[in-house]
A and B are shown apart, each in its own frame.
Chain A
Amino acid sequence: MKRRPTAWLAVMAAGTILLPACANNTPTGGETPTSGGTLTISFKDDLKTLDPAIGYDTDSWSIERQIYNGLLDYDGFTTNLKADIAEKMPVITNDGKTYTFKIRKGVKFSNGREVTADDFKYSWERMLDPKTNGPMTGGPFWGVLTGSADFFNGRATSISGLKVLDPNTLEVDLDTPNQSFLNIVAMPFGFVVPKEAVAAAGTDFAHKPMGTGPFVLDKWTAGQLIVLKKNPSYFGTKPYLNEVDAQIGVTPEVAILRMQSGQMDLPQPDINIPSAQYVQLSADPKWKNRVVTTPNVDIWYLAMNPTMKPFDKLEVRKAFNYAINKASQAKILAGRAVINNGIQAPPMPGYVPNYNPLGLDANGQNIQKAKDLLAQAGYGPSKPFPPQTLVYPKANADSDREAAAVQQDLAAIGVTVNLQGLAFSAFLDVTGKPNTTAFSYNGWIQDFPDPSDFIDPILTCSAANVTANGSNVAFYCNKSADALADKARGDTNATERLNLYKQFQDVVAGQDFPWVPMYSTVEANVSSTRVHGYHLHPVWPLVVTSIWVTGAAASASAS
């Protein structure tokens, strides 16, 4: 096949960025990418939505990434931002409160119309509009925009802080400076959508998406198959692939079996492969080089709601912190977990290595102290600890085992725990409502690589002040800790900022204990031998533009 000059340049450029980031991935240097072909991937459940104003899970984001663009994107596989639809990085003035974006000329939606600054104002207001019912309405992240408060409570019909100066210039005003604002802009919630397509789709834009991206949605057979086809008028670096087929309703175990028989390229690419399959593939000489791993920026923890009994007692929450065997949890994940006693993940700036304020042993336990603390709280043979229900999401075979291990650990200190496994959407419902769930097993994965992402949406008072769909599942609110987070948010001094976040961690994980932090995971994914150029991105669940395929097509049967 003839090599197009632009493709070759992209490979050279990407190569310089990819090499350091792909430290633990199999090097594919020396191979030349070929254009064309179809990539077959799988998802266990049907996607909830492809509307970027609403989607907030790895499945939706995996596909949205291929259909839309925003002002900014991450550079290659690094965590540095670069301009995407914007011509260059924005000009920041007014002490960090005004961002001026210049929009590239010639970027077209897939219906042929050119993108303007008006489209961004429309898309962002739509995303924050209470009528759209998206998760960003009401303040997390975007509440810093001037005029957003009035917009949220209906006193204004548009956001005054979003100003269209001319068709290619957008000015964004903030109430207070926010060091992670550009990361917020790069989130899929900032993707641009054409208002005529939204109007034409009525209420079904989620299933009839249209954007500016390298692929367009060709077909979505509900519950069965999603087909993406290459967008010939894409403004950016064209992808190598012609088509992406996503088979839906395939469990991870079956997807891996299909991959081994040549019917699948990337089984369940946006989540970790199940432990049993990971152990099996790592031991199989044919497949062990196809497994790629990267540390995730996440934290998995047990949330204890201090507003609900018996977790209102500090001794009880501390006792639970001494009782959980975190090494067992790591074994259940086939060793793909690092014990973590804090709230930040290892790759995150501001992470404190070997953080262990309670002096726990190598398993993360001190069983005697746990029993002593329960006795101190007044529980004993005459007053047994009330049975608790641990609510957990049934994500895959490993989730049941993780919950069962927690149950066993707490039984050893005299606490009876009943397990309640729920489907993920039901789990989000019950843990997101105040006064509903006292004890739950949770994970938080970064939205963007900044320590504020692990604090503002999940541990502040404003995040606890919701009636539904909350992410602060412990409903933790400590005003003095909040003050630290507020101060850090706009602090331009990086060292001081990180220090303030470390102090916040000390309050949560060394003093108040609304959580039992357990571990951070290592992501492992596998690809078939047809796939080249597949790397795990630090932020995006799936990047397809670097992938090319060779050899006979995967016999993609949509059955």
Chain B
Amino acid sequence: MTPDRLSALAMFAVLVGGLVWLVRWVRQSLSWRPVWDRFRREPLALAGLAFVLVLVSVAILAPVLPLRDPNHGYYELLPLNGRPLAPGATFLLGSDANGRDLLSRTLWGARVSLIIGCLANFSALALGISLGSVAAYFGGWMDMVLMRFTDIMMAFPVVLFSIALIGILYSSGLHGNLLVIAAVIALFYWTAVARIVRAQVLSIKEKEFVEAARALGTHPIRILAKHIFPHLMPIIIVYGTIGIATTITVESILSFIGIGVQPPTADWGVMVNDGVTFMQIAPWLVIVPGLMILLTVLAFNLLGDGLRDALDPRERALFRGAIGGVAAGGGGLATGQRATLEPGLEVAAPGTFEVEEASG
């Protein structure tokens, strides 16, 4: 067994084990069980979850599955005029004009999209939460400086600026580097998170237990980490899921215009780009990866929606106004929408968190 396959199987085992453990823990947890019960009753959310799980599993297991090499061109199987093969016996989903197996490329492309999507999302969350909570907690000039900086970053048209940035990187040979692409996407996405987090922290910091901790002389960073951060969980969970949809979309756009992942690496955006010239004689080259992008984004959105509803059905309307306005606008990236959440408007969190020991 090659190291690739070994690590794939190991990761899959970790994923399955982790999920099993999570479900069991949630079911016996007093505070989270109601969330899970509410979530289970939403069929669309479950559908989204199922799709995401299947996608992630397939992406992890790709080296183990009996797939052809996604980058190898089977020219010998193409007809003399080089016409791409339609879906059929040789290639389940057909081939592209280079004789590459579309099914294999689609599944391997899932890895690239998910990796970049998750990396970008995670970095954006980390950056947004840190900056937002620091700005809100310390207030004053720090708040002003950080928020104005956020405003400036939010005003940039993401795709255009990514083109410029990656264009600069082109000469240093870093184009196509997954980490770089994820970093560029994160560079713009963190602003939406920061604004929401700031609003939340502004309201939480007025609460009694925070005041109590402050009175005891607890260090501000410890207050942020131990007392305030847990209240951000709902936002983190929702953004963690809906955000991936946004980052995957942006990554596909960048690859489509040619500045994201480089050919021959299989990636949905690249596949759509390659397929456009052949669209009139081989439409499956565009339909298959395009449909995958659509379904993945839809699934993550449904999952995030379901989580948001499950986390607090009472505040559904208000919460929707806060988070939904940003998520619906594609994470606020493409449209530059700004989330408005009045300071002081509470987002109720699951019951137990309201009772807190004011420990140092």
Which A residues are within 8 Å of any B CB, using their own CB? 253, 274-277, 279-280, 282-283, 325, 327-328, 330-335, 397, 400-401, 404-405, 408
Contacts and interface: CB of A to CB of B under 8 A. Distances in A.
Given A332-B98, A405-B75, 6 more contacts: A275-B82, A275-B97, A276-B277, A276-B278, A282-B81, A334-B83
A404 B99 CA distance: 12
B82 A335 contact: yes
Nearest to B281: A280
20 contacts: A274-B277, A275-B82, A275-B97, A276-B281, A279-B82, A280-B280, A283-B281, A327-B76, A328-B73, A328-B75, A328-B76, A330-B80, A331-B80, A331-B81, A333-B82, A334-B81, A335-B80, A401-B98, A404-B98, A408-B73
Interface in B61-82: 72-73, 75-76, 78-82
Nearest to B80: A335
Given A275-B82, A331-B78, A332-B82, A397 B277 contact: yes
B278 A335 contact: no
A327 B97 CA distance: 14
Residue with the greatest number of chain A CB neighbours at <10 A, chosen from B80, B97, B264:
B97
Contact of B97 (A283, A335, A401, A408): A401
B263 interface: yes
Interface string B262-289: 0110000000000001101100000000
Contacts of A330: 80, 82
A404 B264 contact: yes
Interface residues of B, number: 18
**B interface, over-half SS:** loop
A334 B79 CA distance: 9
A521 to B, nearest CB: 13
Contacts of B98: 332, 401, 404-405
Contacts of A408: 72-73
Given A279-B82, A335-B80, A404-B263, A325 B277 contact: no
Interface in B337-359: none
Contacts of A282: 81
Contacts of A275: 82, 97
Contacts, number: 56
Given A274-B277, A276-B277, A327 B75 contact: yes
A333 B72 CA distance: 18
Which 6 residue pairs spanning A and B have beta carbons closest together? A328-B75, A331-B82, A335-B81, A276-B277, A276-B278, A335-B80
A331 B281 contact: no
Contacts of B83: 279, 334
Residue with the greatest number of chain A CB neighbours at <10 A, chosen from B73, B76, B82, B264:
B82
Contacts of B75: 325, 327-328, 331-332, 405
A202 to B, nearest CB: 36
Contacts of A327: 75-76
A276 B80 CA distance: 13
Nearest to A401: B98
Contacts of B280: 276, 280
Contacts of A397: 277
Contacts of B281: 276, 279-280, 283
A279 B85 CA distance: 13
Contacts of B97: 275-276, 332, 401
A52 B78 CA distance: 44
A88 B352 CA distance: 104
A405 B73 contact: yes
Nearest to B71: A408
A362 to B, nearest CB: 11
Contacts of B79: 331
A405 B280 CA distance: 23
A401 B100 CA distance: 12
Residue with the greatest number of chain B CB neighbours at <10 A, chosen from A253, A279, A400:
A279
Contacts of A400: 263
A361 to B, nearest CB: 12
Nearest to A274: B277
Contacts of B81: 279, 282, 331, 334-335
A317 to B, nearest CB: 24
Contacts of B78: 331
A277 B264 CA distance: 22
B239 to A, nearest CB: 38
A298 B292 CA distance: 43
A267 to B, nearest CB: 14
Nearest to A327: B75
A209 B131 CA distance: 62
Nearest to B73: A408
B177 to A, nearest CB: 14
B57 to A, nearest CB: 30
A281 to B, nearest CB: 10
B127 to A, nearest CB: 34
Given A274-B277, A276-B281, A279-B281, A334 B82 contact: yes
Contacts of B76: 327-328
A237 B59 CA distance: 68
B280 to A, nearest CB: 5
B79 to A, nearest CB: 8
B87 to A, nearest CB: 18
Contacts of A404: 73, 98, 263-264
Contacts of A325: 75
Residue with the greatest number of chain A CB neighbours at <10 A, chosen from B72, B277, B281:
B277
A408 B76 CA distance: 13
Nearest to B96: A401
Nearest to B275: A276
Contacts of B263: 400, 404
Contacts of A333: 82
Contacts of B80: 330-331, 335
A297 to B, nearest CB: 23
A288 to B, nearest CB: 13
Nearest to A257: B280
A275 B75 CA distance: 15
Contacts of B82: 275, 279, 330-335
B277 A253 contact: yes
A408 B98 CA distance: 11
Residue with the greatest number of chain B CB neighbours at <10 A, chosen from A327, A331, A333, A335:
A331
